[in-house]
Structure 1
Amino acid sequence: MDEKTTGSWLIHHTQRLQRAEYLPGYDRIYIAGKAGILLSAISADKASELSRERVNALATASKITPLELPGLLTKLQERELIDQTANGVSVLGVTTQAATLMHTARLFAISDPTPIENAALALAEAASQAPLDYNEALQIGDEHKLTKTLAQQAISESSDVGFVDVESLSGGQQLFFNGNLFRRDNTEKIKRVLDSLGSADQRLLNDATTQLQQRGCIEVTEIRRMLGDALFEKIMSVGLFDINVVSNPQEETGFVTLPSAFSKFSTSTVDDAFDLAKAFVSSITYGMTKSPSHRGRIDFVAALIRTLIRGEPIGPVPAIAQDYRILEVKGVVQVKDGAKNGRKGPMMWLLKREVGELALQVIMQGDASEQSLDALPSAAVSRYRGPEENQQIVRKKQVKESPTVTNDILRVLRTTGAR
């Protein structure tokens, strides 16, 4: 794996470890991943200096505790990625998410990782290309010089904590895969999925995919209505479509995107490893569909995003102080009071240009118009839950209700050759 891919899996695995009980043996993954998450939160397009208060706030939003923060900052300083002063933190030349992933991988590499940690990363990468049977998973352990017992332990722990998903087949067989299965060039894989379905389901899935390609994103209830409950659960459980959830104190609303939509140069596993572009799109589309004009309704979304990408602020309008809080806490934008054209009020600057560029690509390739997202919340978005976490929720429900409902899809992906 190259450094960017390794870094993306470190972030992925760290997010899984954060949601699980403490699992000894994966500390180097966890520390490197946490350092990468922190670096992503505090970095911007240009070298920047942040106050201690802002660093603490961004760390808290990234689920980094006050106990963890000093050690992570020290590690970043030792790598000359930041400089610490009594008043704050300066980020030194880390201006892209790709660079953040590469530095995350390097932090891991110099931490003397264990063979079982390296195997856990390799297993996830292999399972994202095509489902693996148990013997193939064991072979990955062998390639990393693990004994059979340790290889079995790595497989068991990887499936337990969610580094990979596991599907039980008849005869005691197992297939291992993960939610990144369709984040690469996925035309052939989608064809295999279609071939595994009956003609009626093929037609429904084709129609839904075409709608997503044309509209960019569609509210979850509409996709469920198009596919029917059974096909919806089957498709979502293997990650063929992504569910993105935005929420606020009043309600929680999900919408569906194609996994490959958030891919710019390689795969969305790498290009949007931190789910920042997905959060950006969800916030911008709220402004397009629900915010009244006096608060700052977005009528020309492409022009707005291009303004931000050029480094110019937008505003001042009241909605900026409320509707983009999730982007503030993720370090994607900065909001502060300013003046423009004789008006005063909240204004917004884009701190991570590449996130805006990726969001613009998704919106322009799919017609993210008012009708495509007319069910987003009518209050400010304060939380975003990404596709991987949502897929885990769907899979837990699916496994409980019908352990074999996705077997046909996984089997055809497993047995039809090229990855």
Structure 2
Amino acid sequence: MDEKTTGSWLIHHTQRLQRVETQRGYERIYKAGKAGILLSAISADKESEISRERVEALAAAANINIVFELPELLRTLKELDVIDESANAVEVLGVTTKSTLTHAAKIFEAANPTDSERAVLEIAEAASTAPIKRSEALEIGDRLRLAAAVAAKAIDDSSDIGFVDSESISAGEQLLFNGNLFRRDNSAKIKRVLDSLGPGEQRALQDATSQLQARGCIEVVEVEKMLGGPLFAKVMAVGLFDLNVVSNSSEETGFVTLPSAFGKYSSSFVDDAFDLAKAFVSSITYGMTKSSSDRGKIELVAALLRTLIRGEPIGPVRAIAEDYKILELKGVVRVAQGSKKGRTGPMMWLLKREVGELALQVLLQGDASEHSLEALPTAAVTRYRGPEENQQRARKKQLKNSPTATNDILRVLRTS
């Protein structure tokens, strides 16, 4: 794997490790991933200086302990020459998502990772191309010269921690896969899935896919209605579609996107390893579809995004100070008082240009660009839950109902 792909898996695995009681055996993955998550949160396209208070707020929002973890992670990033520190501020060099992933990979290598840690990264990468059998995963251990017991534990840990999903297909045999199956060679894989379905399911899935290609992002209830409950549960459990959930104090709303929708230059898994563009698109779509009209109808969202991508602020409007807080917490945008065209009030700047470019690409796939440059919609999104977590929830729900419900899809994805 190249450094960017390695960095993507480090972030992925660290997010899974945060959900278990101990990271024992995978401490180097955890440290490198946490450093990458912190660097993503505090960095921008251009070199910037941010206050200690803001660094701590962004770190806390990223689930980084500001007493025990933050000082060590800042020290590690300083040794890598991507930040500098003073008593009251942290200076961050201009860093993109892709360079953040490269830095995470370098931190991982410098920590002298164990063969077991390398193995769980390799297993996840292999299982993202096509479902692999447990026996094939053991061959990865052989290639890394792991003892049989160590290789077996790496596979068990991968499944137990959530680095990969697993489905039993026979006594003593499993299929291992993960939510990135449809981010690569997507057309061929979708055709295989379609071929495994009945005529009615084929038509429903083709229609839903066409709608997502045309519109970019659709509310989950509409997609579920298109597919019907059983087919919806099946395709969501294997990651054929991405479910993004945004929430605020009054409701939780899901939006569906295609996993390949964010593939701009290479693998969309690398391009949006932190789910930033997905959070951006979902927040904007929430505002476009769910917000009330009393704060102004949104028009020309493409123009809005292009303004931000050029480095210019949008606003000033009151809504900016209240909406899209999740994007502030993830370090995607900055909100501050400013003046424009004789008006003064809250304004917003885009800190990560590539995130805006990816969001624009997805929204321009269809007719989502009928919304406003003058004001952001009333979204007030305060939390975002990404596709991988939602897919794992779907898997758990499905396993309770029918342990073999996805076998047909997983098996057909292994065919040439």
Measured against the shorter chain, the TM-score band is over 0.9
Q: Which residue of 2 aligns with 1:374?
A: none
Does 1:100 find its partner at 2:111?
no
Task: Describe how 1:2-13 pairs up with structure 2 within 5 A.
Answer: 2-13=2-13
- Give the secondary-structure state (helix, strand or coil) at the position aligned to 1:380: coil
The one-letter amino acid paired with 2:86 is: T
* 1:33–1:309 Cα change, 3 Å: same
The one-letter amino acid paired with 2:71 is: P
Alpha-carbon separation, structure 1, partners of 2:338 and 2:151: 58
Q: CA deviation at 1:341?
A: 1.1
Q: Which residue of 1 aligns with 2:127?
A: 127
Alpha-carbon separation, structure 2, partners of 1:385 and 1:14: 16
Per mean C-alpha deviation after superposition, the further-off stretch among 378-387 and 250-259 is: 378-387
Task: Describe how 1:127-146 pairs up with structure 2 within 5 A.
Answer: 127-146=127-146
Q: CA deviation at 1:255?
A: 1.0
Per mean C-alpha deviation after superposition, the further-off stretch among 194-203 and 345-354 is: 194-203
Alpha-carbon separation, structure 1, partners of 2:152 and 2:20: 20
Alpha-carbon separation, structure 2, partners of 1:162 and 1:39: 24
Q: CA deviation at 1:200?
A: 1.5
Task: Describe how 1:19-418 pairs up with structure 2 within 5 A.
Answer: 19-66=19-66, 67-94=68-95, 96-291=96-291, 295=295, 297-368=297-368, 380-414=380-414, 416-417=415-416
Alpha-carbon separation, structure 2, partners of 1:69 and 1:297: 42
Residue by residue over 1:328-355, the C-alpha shift from the partner in whole angstroms, topping out at 9 and shown as x without a partner, is 0000000001111111110000000010
> 8 Å contact 1:283–1:381 — kept in the other structure?
yes
Q: CA deviation at 1:288?
A: 2.7
Gap regions ≥5 residues in structure 1: 372-376
Alpha-carbon separation, structure 2, partners of 1:289 and 1:345: 25
Alpha-carbon separation, structure 2, partners of 1:74 and 1:158: 29
Gap regions ≥5 residues in structure 2: 372-376
Residue by residue over 1:48-67, the C-alpha shift from the partner in whole angstroms, topping out at 9 and shown as x without a partner, is 10100000000001000021
- Give the secondary-structure state (helix, strand or coil) at the position aligned to 1:169: strand
The one-letter amino acid paired with 2:87 is: A
> 8 Å contact 1:296–1:320 — kept in the other structure?
no
Residue by residue over 1:353-372, the C-alpha shift from the partner in whole angstroms, topping out at 9 and shown as x without a partner, is 0100010000001332679x
Alpha-carbon separation, structure 1, partners of 2:84 and 2:2: 27
The one-letter amino acid paired with 1:72 is: L
* 1:296–1:90 Cα change, 3 Å: farther
> 8 Å contact 2:42–2:92 — kept in the other structure?
yes
The one-letter amino acid paired with 1:213 is: Q
Alpha-carbon separation, structure 1, partners of 2:390 and 2:219: 14
> 8 Å contact 1:250–1:379 — kept in the other structure?
no
Alpha-carbon separation, structure 1, partners of 2:265 and 2:82: 24
Q: Which residue of 1 aligns with 2:374?
A: none
* 1:379–1:49 Cα change, 3 Å: closer
> 8 Å contact 2:248–2:381 — kept in the other structure?
yes
The one-letter amino acid paired with 1:68 is: E
> 8 Å contact 1:8–1:269 — kept in the other structure?
yes
Q: CA deviation at 1:106?
A: 0.6
> 8 Å contact 1:302–1:360 — kept in the other structure?
yes
Per mean C-alpha deviation after superposition, the further-off stretch among 148-157 and 162-171 is: 162-171
Per mean C-alpha deviation after superposition, the further-off stretch among 217-226 and 303-312 is: 217-226
> 8 Å contact 1:215–1:369 — kept in the other structure?
no
The one-letter amino acid paired with 1:85 is: S
The one-letter amino acid paired with 1:21 is: E
Alpha-carbon separation, structure 1, partners of 2:23 and 2:98: 28
Total equivalences in the alignment: 410
The one-letter amino acid paired with 1:82 is: I
Alpha-carbon separation, structure 2, partners of 1:290 and 1:126: 39
> 8 Å contact 1:291–1:319 — kept in the other structure?
no
The one-letter amino acid paired with 2:248 is: N
Alpha-carbon separation, structure 2, partners of 1:21 and 1:412: 36
Alpha-carbon separation, structure 1, partners of 2:293 and 2:164: 45
Residue by residue over 1:17-43, the C-alpha shift from the partner in whole angstroms, topping out at 9 and shown as x without a partner, is 001121310000000000000000011
